[in-house]
Structure 1
Amino acid sequence: MKIFSKAQIYAGDTLTSERQKISSIELMERAGVQIFNWMHLRMQGAQVPIHIFCGIGNNGGDGLVIARHLIIHGYNVKTYIVDYNNKRSADFLAHYERLKGVTKAWPEPIHDPSDFPEIAPEDIIVDAIFGIGLNRPISKWVKDLFMHFRKSQAFTLAVDVPSGLFTDKAIENENDAVWAGFTLSFASPKLIFFLPETAKYTAQWEILDIGLDPEFLLTTETDAELIGKAEVLPNYIPRERFSHKGDFGHALIIGGSYGKIGAVTLTARATLSVGAGLVTTYIPKCGYTAMQASFPEAMVITDSHEEKITKINYNIKPTVIAFGIGAGTEGETLEALEHFLKENKTPLVIDADGLNMLSTKKSLLKYLPENTILTPHPKELERLIGAWKDDFEKLDKVKAFTKKYKVILIIKGAYSITVFNDKLFVNSTGNPGLATAGSGDVLTGIITGLLAQGYHPSVAAIFGTYLHGKSADLGALNLGFQSLIASHVIEYLGDAFLDLFLEPEPPAVEKSPEHEEKQKEA
């Protein structure tokens, strides 16, 4: 699913008005009606007090449309105008006049905290104050209004984005924005729904189709994309009946140190479980017996040193190499990495201590083969690119880093983001159960296994991240978040593959109120 920018959404609105020969006023009507329909289908006439807070721009205009239709359908509605300046958009004024035509109770203006209404915990708040167009600091009293919403403990529904959030920069204080229980976003999810510093402002979100021009939606290239089943399934490579293990690559996993052989075992198991034909591990001598006993499917080469990697010598021809898992950062291991990188031309995945060693000696980054995949957790990422002031600067720094070194980087998190060729691929799968030891080792193995089978590095990173999260989602259904461990993620990989081809259960058909009325008449 494409994630459109603010500028693209505005362009889509304008193009839709031109091609469909409708005014911006009618497009606003369409948007507001969609939110009304969403509410009406769920509330079914319930007389819960609904407080609709409208700004004086186009987001506020959407709120006025919602208020008008709720009033027409007999809901208990109170509408307020958050009067933060003297300018009003033309479309806002048009819908203000339309609202006046259906109610004697005109919207109440709010100029300062003395105008704040009482809101009970069982009430509903509709936040239509600011939309994606917010581009300047807001008044303190408006921030106080946001706090008034939170203190009321009422359910808050945000229109398009929670008010106070910018689409291209972070806010300084968490009290400077609305905390929404649900956000109904027009046409596309917003990138801020997936970033650690801004995702917390909406507990849930849903996309509403407001009828933007189909050609615009189809042909417009975006800088970000949300990855789900529909996006990864076309990349799946099926197996031929007469294929054999040699067709699916030979992965070499280099890593491990005394006390950390388990990390390599997890990576090797995940590599084979995702479909690689052969897996060889290159580990210190101390891990030989443990690896052979715990994972008999893997072949083992050992370093001459008992407890760490000191030289990387092997007589096989791997299709792909994963390096760094549990390797430690000893000086001899760093030297081994340096000699290896200067000679290696095989596709690479680097994780864990491999990343930490690259951070220690960044001159080695220039030796990485093009499209090497890096999988840092937040601290490893900071060591690689330096500190950032907010998530937007982090994304800019990662883009610059990947462009400079021609690599692919996965920013691991609740919504892991693969960065490739200046584009962001936001993963939709995964859950808090992945916050457990070894889950990153499993991700490295999944990606390595896909690379071994011939997937393009960008596809291996995106598809692998999806499968990793989906396996955890399926595992959590049976085990819960707390009991999920890294080995379970490997065990559910088969189910994650099978899920790609399962037809989703048909959703309950949500008919518009107009459709229901016609059915009754029929």
Structure 2
Amino acid sequence: MKIFSREQVYEGDRLTAEKQNITSTDLMERAATQIFNWMHMRMQGAQVPVHVFCGIGNNGGDGLVIARHLITHGYNVKTYVVNCSDKRSKDFLINYDRIKNVTKDWPTLLKCEEDFPEIHPDDIIVDAIFGIGLNRPVADWVKALFKHFKTTKAFTLSVDIPSGLSTEKVPEHEDDVVWAGYTLSFASPKLVFFLPETAKYTVQWEVLDIGLDQEFLHTTVTDVELIGKFEVLPIYVPREKFSHKGQFGHSLIIGGSYGKMGAVTLASRGALSAGAGLVSVFTPKCGYNVLQSSFPEAMVFTDINEELITDIKFDIEPTVVGIGVGVGTNTKTLKAFEAFLKQNKAPLVIDADGINILAKKKTLLKLLPENTVLTPHPKELERLIGAWKDDFDKLDKVTAFSKKHKVIVVLKGANTITVLEDKLYVNTTGNPGLSTAGSGDVLTGIITGLISQGYNPLVASIFGVYLHGKSADIAVEDFGYQSLIASHIIDYLGEAYLDLFKQPEEPAQENQEEEPE
């Protein structure tokens, strides 16, 4: 799913009005009616008090349309205009006149804190104050209104985006934004719904189709894409009946050190379970018995050193190399890592201490093949690119780093984001159970195993992140968040693959009586 920028949304509105020969007021009516329909289907005429708060711009116009339809359908509605400026948009004024034609209870004008209405926890708040076009500081008394919403504990539904939340920056203070229980977003979700510092402002979100021009939707190229099942299904390459292991590549995992053989074992198992034809491991001597006994499917090469990797030598030509898990940052290991990079010709996936080594000696970045995949957790990323002010600054630094070094960066998190130059791919699978030791090692193995099969590094990263999260989503049903461990992700990877082809279950039909003959 494409995630449109603010400018692209405006252009989509303009093109739609032009091509469909409708006015901006007509498009507003269509969009806001979709929100009313969403509410009407769920409320079914319930008389719970609904408080609709409207700004004086186009988002406020949406709110007035919603309130008008609620009124004409007999709901218990109270409408307010948040008088935060002397300027009113044209479409707001048109819909202000229209709502006055359907009720004698005209919208209440709010100008200060003394005007705030009483709202009970069982009431509903519709937040239509500010939209994506907010470009000025929010007045203190309006911030107080946002805080009033939160204090009431009433369910809050935001129109398009929680009021006060910018699409391009993190709020300075939490009270500057409406905290929504649900946000109904037009045309596409907003990137801020998926970033750690801004996702908290809406518990859930949903996209409503408002009939934007189809050509615009299909041909517009966005900098951000949301990745779910329907985005990865076309990526999947099925296996032919007469295929054999030699067609699916040879993954080499380089890693491990004394006491850290679990990381390399998990990464190796992840690579094979993701579908690599063969998996070999290069590790210190201390890892030989561990791997041969715990993972008999792997072939093992060892360093001459018992506890560390000091000299990387092997007699195979791997399709892809995953390196760094559990390897440590000893000076001897760093030298071995540098020597390996100088002679390596295979695609690379680098994680953990491999990234820490790059951060220690940044000149090594010049030795990375184009489209090398880096999979840092936040602290490893900070060592590599430096500290950042907020999530948007982090994305700016990562995209600049990706462009400069021609690498793919997988930003691990609740919504893992794969970055290649200016393009972001936001993943939708995964859960808090992934906050466990070794889950990142498994991801390294999965991406390595996918590249081994012939997926290009970017596709392998996007697909691998999806499968990793989906496996955890399936496993968590059996183990819960707290008891999910990294091995479970590998164990359920097959089910994640199978899930790609499962059809959505039909809703249960209850209390259905047979028609009389």
Give the TM bin, normalised by the shorter chain.
over 0.9
**How far is 1:507 from its partner?**
5.8
How far residue 506 of structure 1 moved from its aligned partner, in angstroms, is 4.0
- Equivalence map 1:87-486=2 (5 Å): 87-486=87-486
How far 1:508 moved relative to its partner?
8.5
Q: Which runs of 5 or more structure 1 residues have no equivalent in the other structure?
A: 510-522
Tell me, what secondary structure is at the counterpart of 2:203? coil
Counterparts of 2:508 and 2:397 in 1: how far apart (Å)?
43
Give the secondary-structure state (helix, strand or coil) at the position aligned to 1:251: strand
Contact 2:349 2:374 in 1 (8 A): yes
Residue 370 of structure 1: SS of its match in structure 2?
A: coil
Aligned to 1:519: none
Name 1:496's counterpart in structure 2.
496
Mapping of residues 25-104 of structure 1, within 5 Å = 25-104=25-104
Q: What is the CA–CA distance in structure 1 between the aligned matches of 2:367 and 2:137, rounded to whole Å?
A: 45
What amino acid sits opposite 1:140 in the alignment?
D
Q: Counterpart of 1:33 in 2: which secondary structure?
A: helix
Q: TM-score, normalised by structure 2?
A: 0.98
Distance 1:194 1:404 in 2: 25
The CA deviation string for residues 198-226 of structure 1, in whole angstroms up to 9 with x for no partner, is 10100000000110001100110000000
Q: Is the 8 A contact 2:36 2:70 kept in 1?
A: yes
Once structures 1 and 2 are overlaid, which stretch shifts more, 497-506 or 16-25?
497-506
Aligned partners of 2:400 and 2:421 also within 8 Å: no
When structure 1 is superposed on structure 2, of 282-291 and 54-63 the one drifting more is 282-291
**C-alpha separation in 1, matches of 2:357 and 2:3:** 35
Q: What's the secondary structure of 2:459's corresponding residue?
A: helix
The offset of 1:385, in angstroms, is 0.8
CA distance in 2, matches of 1:17, 1:242: 54
Task: Give a deviation string over 1:156-200, Cα, whole Å, max 9, x none.
Answer: 000000001000111111111000000000010110100111101
State the distance in 1 between where 2:282 and 2:444 align.
Answer: 15
8 Å Cα contact 2:418-2:461 kept in structure 1:
yes
Q: Which amino acid aligns with 1:363?
A: T
Counterpart of 2:66, as a letter, is I
Amino acid at match of 1:175: D
Instruction: Show structure 2 runs of 5+ residues with no match.
Output: 510-517
* Residues 387-442 of structure 1: CA deviation (Å, up to 9, x unaligned): 11111111111111001000001111000000114200000100000000000000
Secondary structure, in 3 states, of the residue corresponding to 1:106? coil
Give the fraction of aligned pairs with identical amino acids, expressed as a percent: 71
Would the aligned equivalents of 2:156 and 2:180 in 1 still touch at CA under 8 Å?
yes
- Preserved contact between residue 187 and residue 207 of structure 2 (Cα < 8 Å): yes
CA distance in 2, matches of 1:376, 1:428: 18
Two-structure CA RMSD over aligned residues (Å): 0.9
In structure 2, give the amino acid aligned to 1:16.
T
What CA deviation, in whole Å up to 9, does each residue of 1:250-295 have, x standing for no partner?
A: 0110010111001100000010001001111111111111111000
2:313, 2:380 → 1: CA distance?
A: 27
Paired amino acid for 1:332:
K
Q: Scaled by the length of structure 1, what TM-score is found? A: 0.97
Residue 491 of structure 1: how far off its partner (Å): 0.5
Structure 1 stretches of 4+ with a deviation exceeding 6 A read: none
Q: For residues 251 and 54 of structure 1, what CA distance do their matches in structure 2 show? A: 58
Question: How far apart, in 2, do the equivalents of 1:216 and 1:475 lie?
Answer: 39
Residue 324 of structure 2 aligns to a residue whose secondary structure is strand
Q: 1:296 & 1:474 partners in 2: Cα distance?
A: 26
Q: Deviation per CA, 1:134-158: give whole Å up to 9, x if none.
A: 1121111111111000000000000
SS at match of 2:346: coil
Structure 1 residues 331-374: Cα deviation after superposition (integer angstroms, max 9, x where no partner): 11111111111111110000000001100111100100000000
Measured in 1, the distance between the counterparts of 2:385 and 2:116 equals 46
Q: Aligned partners of 1:345 and 1:280: how far apart in 2?
A: 17
Aligned twin of 2:19: 19
SS at 2:29's partner residue?
Answer: helix
Letter in 1 for 2:504: P
How far apart, CA to CA, are the structure 2 residues paired with 1:183 and 1:97?
A: 26
Aligned to 1:300, the other structure's residue is in SS state strand
Report the AA paired with residue 288 of structure 1. Answer: Y
